[in-house]
A and B are shown apart, each in its own frame.
Chain A
Amino acid sequence: MYWNTRYETMAREELGQLQLERLQVTVERAYYNVPHYRRAMQQAGVEPGDIRSLEDLKKLPFTTKQDLRDNYPYGMFAVPLSEIVRIHSSSGTTGKPTVVGYTRQDINTWSELMARSLVCGGATKDDVIHNAYGYGLFTGGLGVHYGAERLGASVIPISGGNTKRQVMIMKDYGSTVLTCTPSYALFLAEVIREMGLTPGDLRLKCGIFGAEPWSDNMRKEIEKKLGISAIDIYGLSEVIGPGVSIECEQKNGLHIWEDHFLPEIIDPDTGEPLPYGTPGELVFTSLTKEALPVIRYRTRDISMLSVEPCSCGRTHVRMRRVSGRTDDMLIIRGVNVFPSQVESVLLEIGETEPHYMLIVDREGTLDTLEVWVEVSEQMFSDQVRQLEAKENRIRAEIESTLGLTVKVKLVEPKTIERSEGKAKRVIDRRPKN
């Protein structure tokens, strides 16, 4: 099932030609309308006319989150504010927020891409889409909403929070597709169980989850607990929001909508483009965005691209699930640690709840990592040595995955905060220089 057969299954050669035409227009628009891009391109000694093939993309300078911050709030817009019909913004938890704007045509494009994504993930116009992404400045809620309406599905704009009521509505209104963060999906599963319900009492068939990195084991857990098929969707507000890429039913990489975004993988240290099949940092150039064109935007997300044909018939390149954002990456005693690695180990062991918290601290000059894990009924024992044996097993497995000494602390259930949006998994108590 495709939403837009022509574009989703376009031959790669034709797709490349389309990309080049659109790239040339984008670069020209950015150069003439955004002082930052003109300055950056002049410094790099490149002009719009130099872009004659897709190969020439690498001549263009990168754009970073810092560039967006430096031009806060509207400095990166390529159209006057009067043309802007919507403004979204990042939370700004890691610094000054970044502001993104959309023209009427941008909203149209985004709705098209989200409709495509929903269909690719298994939704149809006959579905009741329970949209529990947050509505507001965050792009998740409204992004999915507009795509679901474009598709013609029935949208429940429930947003986040009030979880018991969400379950009641899911049950009574017959929601068939759940859209939210994966951590909230797990929390919903927990509340469903606590309310004495089973997945059989609901009509959910699939879930489209994103906005935070999650592991394949987490997918299995969600699929088991909710009795659904769980699909990974990817996007970031700077590029457009959700709907940049999504898995098809193969669940083997996310198709990037290449008629609108040009992806690259680069070496995060040298900035050199890397060939297909090599992991590195994901970089996007927008091809159709009017309000906020982005040129070689560095996502900080680690992935890998594959152009192997997919049995779903879509010709668009697939990116490997993002294992972590370099922003989320912790450097502990010189070792790179992604919280999702710990999550994966816990789910692999299977007896623990996938709710965990990483506490990073410093004793003297040495970084320490403590992992809090909730004790499930399944792993609990009335005997200290059995419980300690389980604690030791968790510790050993995490240590062998991370290559780092850790301390595991068993905590009582529900002591780790449940998230209704993006989960908070790390408390870093190390002094900042």
Chain B
Amino acid sequence: MTSVQKEADDLTESVMAGQINQSIWRDLITLTKPRIIMSNLVTAWAGFFLAVKHDAAGWTWIEWLLMTLGSALVMASGCVFNNILDREMDQRMARTQHRALPMQRMSVTFVLTYGILLGLAGVSSLYLVNSLSAILGLTGWLSYVWLYTYWLKRTSTLSTVWGGIAGSIPPVIGYCAVTNSFDMGALLLFSFLYLWQPPHFLALAIRRREEYRAAGFPLLPVVHGVEATKIQMVRYLAALIPVTLLFYGCNFAGPVFLVTSIVLGLYWMYGLVRGFGPIEEEKWAKRWFFYSIWYLTALSVLLMLGW
């Protein structure tokens, strides 16, 4: 082998090693579902600053940082466990079959260790803020991993309803990180997120029902059809609208929030009710899925600002 050939081979090897390293890092990040973490962090920040505005309680940026880090790590751990538990079902869905575990790019033991370490680091970080935040983080993790992913997601149409507990906890962690007590503000934040999730998630379930059917997930549109799902969406939204009014009534939000929540809530309701008419189902579900994200973001920002 000439020295030129050897250099070329070494270069190829180092490029490949670099690509493999890059791929491992990408997989490690993807396993944590960063988009889910980011959207949940927005609600956690909303809870945190809602408590700051309402109570004028003492707080520090260190607490905010620990709360953010702890919540993100606990959620990341939950998502890693979700990847482990769903790996066989993920193989059957086009959207998920390229993930690290279905493609066997990583071993289950390695990913399990990664998930446990993330969880421990997250709960410890929350414990440094206060014990209530750590308990809430652990409750959220258990409800996501055990109640939703392990149990209900593969056995019942109720997965969306009870799985909502996990999604409702991040803003409560943010709030309790400041107040260190579970009071009306925490309850309102929990109720708001809890009732927001069924109409949000069921829109996605309608959109992707064939994929969920193929993977064997017994979601409401798969088991009981689109009509029944739309009815449930309307019912939960009808319960969500009054909860948003209470933020204003309890002095947690200002008039801008009140008016915005009524207008956006009623428009959402109008859109859902129109869904019973002649519509393109796919387009309709996509539109109101994204609207629900926009609705949550807008109201979360207004809560943070205290307007």
- The answer to whether A binds B is no
